[in-house]
Amino acid sequence: MSLNSQERKIIIGILFVWIVVAIWFNIPSLDWTIGPFHSKDKSLLIPTIYGLVINAIIYFGNIYFLIPRFLKSRRFGRYITLLGVYFLGICILETALDLLVYHLIYGSLDNGVIEDASITNFLLNALIFLFPSFLHRFAMDWFSKEETEPERKEEDLLWSIKSGTETHRIPINQINYIESDGNYIKYFLDDRFIMARDSLSKVEKQLPQNTFVRSHKSFLVRIKAIEKATYNSIKIKDVSIPIGRVYKENINSAINDL
């Protein structure tokens, strides 16, 4: 997910606040205690450093990796499962590091320290970093939705196709699908096709969002032109277009959003 300048400023601001709080927690005179570690004897310093990295992985990983990848495809079960494994794995890693550092500093471990480290990590990571990440993501989507210009209708969108010495201005809704043919691509309309020297991947990036979807390494199909979709093919104007194995999720998500 690409970040705009405002998002980068927000991330920098959040990290700045975390660093300030981390420094505050490590002031010896305040005698902070977090889990089995203390600011008074400076044992909290090392866990704070790697803890910041781990907290950032939980917080920003959920916002910019897990939520966009799975919630937008509406695979909630898979998202929840992966989130649980992701979060639990990170908490176990942090607990293991805490116990290692504690052993190196104090030279001993007991059940109380193990329980204190594991419970503290799980609760603090969930309350301070995981749950707020959902609020952050919700705020991002809410404000970006308000700032976005009204979506133009598909029939109002034009696409320029340079074929040889000619340039065609074709309404998007007249293009049924696009096929790769070596160093060229073919734009298939109802009654003809137009060939242009271009790459399918380049065109895919330039097309307006939510108008076309990749169904195969050699095909882009206009979503609203899809008449029928089976397990391994799409039907458009009596033409059968294959669905590649790695693109099935793209097709299912596009059809569900219609």
84-98: pLDDT as tens digits: 999 999 999 999 999
User: Across residues 104-121, what is the average pLDDT?
Assistant: 91
Which has more pLDDT, 147 or 112?
Answer: 112
Question: Considering the domain 154-256 in this protein, what is its CATH number?
Answer: 2.40.50.1020
C-beta of residue 195 within 8 angstroms of C-beta of residue 186:
yes
Q: How confident is the model at residue 153 (pLDDT cuts 50, 70, 90)?
A: low
Range(s) for CATH 2.40.50.1020 in the chain?
154-256
pLDDT at 209: 81
pLDDT at 203: 92
213-258: pLDDT as tens digits: 999 999 999 999 999 988 899 999 889 999 998 898 888 888 876 5
